[in-house]
């Protein structure tokens, strides 16, 4: 759903740029409360994983494909504020290096694909885990539903922005119907990827899943006829370190972007298809970085398509994980220097036990 230059007029793009900048500023502050010494390294990894999976367009209807947006996945894994930053880093890398998503439309894309998807998904996710049984399965189910809803929500947000500042004269009702229809189908793929990924991480390291924090119950001991919380066991070095998860996630991202992406669907994604069918793209502009050496996810002067795309994917994962990690380590360092009472991390589950299944 990367919006190119020319779909939305300059005033609307400028306003969304301000909204996006404000969201990033708030998220930088909010991420200080979400990140600790174990989870800070995962922010860059989540961004790199989203970049990699976004290269894997999957077919959803005749002549149409879809790809992960990632807001729900990022919010559930590392927190909503950090999630907004993760997707924003991905969009920035894609726009600058790969000419994917217009530069003047960067505010539109961050507002739509990072802010809307993350806020909608995480709000729905938190509501669901409060009413569902306290278990790993509930987290996975809530992840599926939240991701599913987040995609048509982003489609509606784009439709609203188009209604305000669209550069072509197309009936808003037709745009809304087409956008929501195709993105409901794409949402199923988004939901499946999100639930599978969240479920996989919960299976091996539930303490690293932000959305699963606070679900485990503390072991109770009977002392003097009363039930009291048992002291939390001190976690060992293996429990504290996310290194194995980080290495496994990075290897998976590199394989997906460097190899599996060659087999992705070549059909236009949902926005591209709707834009072509409804005439939204009549005033689309060529990307300012169309001559980038990595434009269109290929390496310039590499003739073999498989090798060119694979190298571009690997480079993209590497750049994204470095850029994301730099951002989140900087946020973590700022948090470490903040001694205010509100800066402490809450809800960590390491060392707790119970029958909740999370």
CA distance 124 to 107: 24
The DSSP letter of residue 344 is S
In the predicted model, is pLDDT for residue 150 greater than 80?
A: yes
> Looking at residues 82-88, what average pLDDT do you find?
98
What pLDDT was estimated at residue 62? 80
Residues 87-145: tens digit of each pLDDT? 999 999 999 999 999 999 999 999 999 999 999 999 999 999 999 998 999 999 999 99
In the predicted model, is pLDDT for residue 349 greater than 80?
A: no
Q: Which residue has the higher pLDDT, 347 or 230?
A: 230
In the predicted model, is pLDDT for residue 324 greater than 60?
A: yes
b/e 115-151 (16+ beta carbons within 10 angstroms → b): bbbbbbbbebbeebbeeeebbbebbbbbbbbbbbbbb
Would you list the DSSP string of 7-36? SB-HHHHHHHHHHHHHHHHHHHHHHHHH--
In the predicted model, is pLDDT for residue 196 greater than 70?
A: yes
Alpha helices per DSSP H over the chain: 10-34, 40-54, 71-78, 80-97, 106-109, 117-131, 136-165, 172-204, 237-240, 243-258, 270-278, 305-336
What pLDDT was estimated at residue 231? 55
Distances 87 to 39, 164, 266, 280, 324 between C-alpha atoms, Å: 17, 24, 23, 25, 10
Residues 243-262: tens digit of each pLDDT? 899 999 999 999 999 999 99
Q: What angle do CA 51, 52, 57 make, to 5 degrees?
A: 100
Q: What angle do CA 149, 153, 156 make, to 5 degrees?
A: 145
Residue with token string 């002291």: 231
- The DSSP H or E segment spanning 59 is strand 58-61
Contacts of residue 243, defined as CB under 8 A and 6 or more positions apart, other chains included, come to none
In the predicted model, is pLDDT for residue 291 greater than 60?
A: yes
> Looking at residues 337-355, what average pLDDT do you find?
44
> Can you say whether the dihedral through the CA atoms of 158, 271, 96, 285 is positive or negative?
negative
- Domain 10-215+242-342: CATH architecture, name and number where available: Orthogonal Bundle (1.10)
CA distance 105 to 165: 12
What pLDDT was estimated at residue 241? 79
Report yes or no: 358 and 206 within 8 Å, Cβ to Cβ.
yes
> Looking at residues 304-317, what average pLDDT do you find?
96
> If pLDDT is split at 50, 70 and 90, which confidence band does 297 have?
very high
> If pLDDT is split at 50, 70 and 90, which confidence band does 39 have?
confident
What pLDDT was estimated at residue 236? 46
Distances 301 to 210, 262, 294, 295, 304 between C-alpha atoms, Å: 43, 18, 10, 12, 9
List the chain domain ranges: 10-215+242-342
What pLDDT was estimated at residue 327? 93
In the predicted model, is pLDDT for residue 238 greater than 70?
A: no
What pLDDT was estimated at residue 213? 84
CA distance 27 to 64: 33
In the predicted model, is pLDDT for residue 230 greater than 60?
A: no
CA distance 67 to 59: 9
Residues 170-181: tens digit of each pLDDT? 999 999 999 999
> If pLDDT is split at 50, 70 and 90, which confidence band does 317 have?
very high
Lowest mean pLDDT among 107-111, 234-238, 275-279: 234-238
Q: What is the mean pLDDT of the chain?
A: 89
What pLDDT was estimated at residue 240? 58
CA distance 45 to 254: 11
Q: Which residue has the higher pLDDT, 225 or 112?
A: 112
> If pLDDT is split at 50, 70 and 90, which confidence band does 350 have?
very low
Residue with token string 């220097």: 337
In the predicted model, is pLDDT for residue 38 greater than 90?
A: no
Q: Give the pTM.
A: 0.88
What pLDDT was estimated at residue 345? 43
What pLDDT was estimated at residue 222? 60
CA distance 94 to 319: 10
């Amino acid at each position: 759903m990367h919006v190119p230059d020319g779909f939305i007029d300059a005033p609307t793009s400028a306003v969304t740029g301000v909204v996006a900048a404000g969201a990033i500023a708030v998220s930088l502050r909010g991420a200080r409360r979400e990140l600790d010494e174990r989870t800070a390294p995962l922010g860059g990894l989540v961004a790199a994983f989203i970049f990699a999976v976004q290269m894997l367009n999957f077919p959803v209807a005749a002549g149409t494909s879809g790809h992960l947006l990632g807001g729900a996945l990022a919010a559930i894994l590392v927190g909503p504020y950090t999630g907004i930053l993760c997707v924003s880093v991905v969009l920035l890398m894609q726009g600058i290096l790969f000419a994917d998503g217009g530069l003047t439309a960067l505010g539109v894309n961050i507002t739509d694909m990072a802010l809307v998807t993350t806020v909608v998904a995480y709000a729905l996710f938190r509501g669901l885990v409060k009413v569902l049984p306290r278990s790993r399965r509930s987290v996975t189910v809530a992840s599926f539903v939240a991701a599913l809803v987040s995609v048509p929500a982003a489609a509606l947000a784009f439709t609203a922005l188009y209604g305000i500042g669209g550069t072509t004269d197309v009936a808003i009702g037709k745009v809304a119907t087409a956008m929501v229809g195709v993105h409901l189908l794409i949402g199923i793929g988004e939901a499946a990827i999100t639930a599978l990924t969240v479920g996989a991480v919960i299976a091996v390291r539930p303490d690293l899943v932000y959305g699963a924090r606070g679900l485990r119950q503390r072991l109770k001991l009977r002392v003097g006829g009363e039930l009291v919380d048992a002291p939390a066991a001190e976690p060992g070095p293996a429990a504290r370190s996310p290194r194995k998860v980080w290495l496994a996630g990075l290897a998976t991202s590199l394989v997906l972007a460097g190899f599996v992406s060659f087999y992705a669907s070549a059909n236009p994604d949902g926005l591209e298809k709707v834009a072509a069918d409804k005439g939204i793209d009549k005033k689309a502009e060529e990307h300012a970085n169309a001559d980038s050496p990595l434009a269109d996810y290929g390496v310039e002067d590499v003739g073999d398509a498989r090798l060119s795309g694979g190298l571009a994917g690997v480079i993209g994962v590497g750049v994204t994980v470095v850029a994301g990690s730099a951002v989140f380590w900087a946020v973590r360092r700022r948090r470490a220097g903040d001694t205010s009472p509100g800066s402490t991390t809450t809800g960590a589950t390491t060392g707790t036990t119970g029958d909740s299944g999370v």
